[in-house]
Each structure stands twice: as structure tokens, then as C-alpha cells.
Amino acid sequence: MKIAVVTGAARGIGRSIALRLAKEGYAIAASDVLTEQVNETAELVRQSGNKALALTVDVSKEEQVKKMFEQVVAELGGVDLLVNNAGVIARSHIVDTTAEDFDWVIGINLKGAFLCIKHSAPIMRQRGGGVIVNISSLHAFATLPNLSIYAASKAGLVGLTRAAALDLGVWNIRVVAVCPSGVDTPMLRDKPTEEENIATLNRWKRASPIGLILQPEDVANLVAWLVSDQARGLTGVAIVIDAGVSADLQIRKIPT
């Protein structure tokens, strides 16, 4: 039995990844700060016939991350796969962005991924290797106004992916990044009114040459392939999944 740890698994992309990996036979350790919702994710995994563990964890806190992996080993037996999906966003002009905003976004999106890699890799080494998938973003390469620290965190995650792949390859651990554009998740649907949310989704669809707004399952399916032996030659790379949005130089017209 292979064991996957998925952070930010309470909803959206993280939940979809957890459920998709369960279909591939993984036992799932789902973590998030949203206790009730991450428990729901774990229960959905169990209903599919797989083992699941729900953990309330703030990935920006090293002691919590360390305890998370200790519990996963104790209750499930080890770690073969880590998906660093936990992420937050802050929207503001760069001069209006506070140091507290910076610490919060970087702490979860980048430091959290680093801490999870640090504490999972030795466990994977003991099991002969593994795979780490960092959920970055198209914003690592082409971003929008008022997203300075979010873009910085996601670009940093791509750099971390490349460096970690070099450090961990000798332990037979692959490290890849997945970079989605706008995905129909609660993070994208965070506007004050439903009318504004629908307008945002429609503009992402219009930015896609195939008229597609990505769903969480699209990202989950890519992750499932990347962690399989079919993708064994991929490490230290960032894979963009954006329905063609980055091919169009009108991306800046998409609202934040």
C-alpha cells in the first residue's frame, strides 16, 4: 500500500487530488487548517474503500508539520508521495501590502512546502524513494496586478522544486511542480457577490482558446499521471496546465 500526504485537502484542488489518488490505491493523509472539511475529505476517501487520516495542521509551523509526519508514519506506515497543495492568496497593490500579509502568504505557500519536503524526504528515503508534487501556479510566470506576494510565493515554489529535485534525486525522490491557471475553486470564487464570481469565471473561460475553465479534477488527473511510473523521467520541472490561457497576451485583462 502506498501512502500519500496531501496538504490543503479540505476542499477544491486538494480534495480532488486526495480522491483521485485514492482511486489509484493510495492511503491518504489529508491535512488542512479547516478541521471539519478535511474530516469530510477523509471520510470520502474511506467511502471509496481506502484508508484515510485527517489532520489539522498549519503547515507554516514546523512543530505541527513534524508531528504530522510522525503521526502518518505511526498510523499509516510511511510516506511515498507528498502533494504540497496548501495555499492562500492576498490581493492588494504592492505598496498597500503589509508585512503581515507577506509573512502569511509566504509562510503557507512557500515555507510550508519547504517544511513538508524537509520532514517527508527522509521517510521516503527509508522506503526507497518517492514523489513530491508542489502545486504552484501560472502566476509564477505570468501574473496580474495586485498579486505581488502570491506571485512571489508561487515563483519561489518553482525554484524550490528545481533545487529539491537536485538534492533529493540521489534518494530516488522525484520533485515536480504543477502550475494551473484559474481553477473553479473557493479561492477563485471569493468575490463579494455571486454575480462577480460568475463574471470572473467567464473571463477566464474567454481567455482560454478552447473556452475552458479548469476544474479541480483537471489538476488532480495531471497529478495522478505525474506520480505514476509513466512520468518517471520528470523531475525538477514545472508543468503548466492552463487551458491555453498563457498563449494569449490578453491575460492581464482577466480581473484579480
Contact indicator for 83, 222 with CB cutoff of 8 Å: no
Taking phi over 0 as left and psi of -120 to 50 as alpha, with beta for the rest, 8 belongs to left
Cell numbers standing for residue 3: 501512502
- Of these residues, 111, 118, 154, 253, which one is catalytic? 154
Q: Among residues 207, 165, 173, 167, which one has the least CA distance to residue 188?
A: 207
Pairing of strands 130-135, 237-241: unpaired
Q: Among residues 163, 169, 157, 229, which one has the least CA distance to residue 2?
A: 229
- Of these residues, 66, 150, 205, 253, which one is catalytic? 150
Q: Among residues 92, 208, 194, 207, which one has the least CA distance to residue 146?
A: 92
Q: Is 154 a catalytic residue?
A: yes
Q: Among residues 229, 249, 223, which one has the least CA distance to residue 6?
A: 223
Q: Is 150 a catalytic residue?
A: yes
Catalytic residues, by residue number, are 150, 154
